[in-house]
Structure 1
């Protein structure tokens, strides 16, 4: 039966090894995570009991305010950074579509944040945002004062700013590639009919770029929802739990403080399901955009 399948589909011989490897690296850990979420396993102990969905019911009905706060700021962070990065990326992409001197230098500057790992980015910005010797406050003192960037009031805003700095170039380059791939015929016809640049943008450019925009939003929204490196490097989730996103909440529950691996796994499952649902919704919008474009 297997031999017959490969005779009819010889090209799958090259695909199945990758499927098996990727499946083993994703499915097996996911199953193990589900098993852990149904236990009361604690780090450092060998004995644990099966507790069913108790870890989940405790999160939703037990008044776990820290979990709900982490969920709220994770969703808010995802929406804010994705929206701002999309708008800034679109603006930068339209500027790059014009011919000007030193254009290659602008591209080089855009590549630098993308090439840096988020953890290193967080460490660099942590030094720059330091209230005492940071370079940002060094310049701000000439304008009348300093800002305690990593305080309880400003830590969340600082995390947003650092994420925007690193990921806006990614959005800009994706949208720029989409702009460069647009056909010229519709714009020439619109110009002959007397359409303005704004009308051409709303009625031609935007509909044609819609699949590209949704694709960029999918990548950034999912990455922002599970963000870990930048807030961990900047604040370790603090001060207090001001920047304790769901991913950091998982880490703190399971490894950093309490060692409640079972509860940590339950939160990780919720994050996984939330990511999956949002991905499916965005992919559905993307497919509609592709169908409308065709």
Structure 2
């Protein structure tokens, strides 16, 4: 199939992009890497009247470290983020998760912010953002806004972004003495995962971000609390029955998905040692 007819504009500044979003409302869509939007257009699952190309905006690029916070611009590609020395040193969970995203051609075009704003529940980055307690930076006509990851992913392919806001970047707090782990199970390399886990252990807290388990990426609060308090790993595995929704789809039954989630939790937390 081919996409329905649409107009195309590539603004020179972020402000111009926001103005276009405000003017055209729900008839406009942002495009950057296009790795999710273009297939949806071709299948006519989406039919905007206007595409606003923000893929070349310098304001959305850049990876910086300041005040114990790693900032990743929304327009950086997966490959750029995955291979950046500061990401590999200060947020290795992100680098590891991006290596599991699809294939090199997709990682060369898809953008960091695009994956988060798309809010696909089977994508790796939303779960990483939850596990790392990241903060999303958005910009709209009213100015900048900061949205904690825990409040960003609201429903299936839905976020807390207003229709006239652009995700501009992500702030990740950096702490010493951090352990992390990542694992996913997919039928083939590059396929969407049947279930996946991004885990972070910092002094006094453990966060378990799950993907491909429901309508959104989620945090497993009960299991994390057990582990944070020094409880047994098997008790945390049992608690996943309460943390994770009973999610059936063509890839796996709810029972199978829960079993696989427990397998991943044992692998990731078991690798930390001492449990």
Tell whether the structures are fold-level matches, with TM greater than 0.5. no
- Compare the two structures and name the one with the higher helix fraction: 1
Q: Which has the higher strand share?
A: 2
TM-score range, shorter chain: under 0.3
TM-score (norm 2): 0.25
Q: Give TM-score, length-normalised by structure 1.
A: 0.24
Tell me which structure has the larger Cα radius of gyration: 1
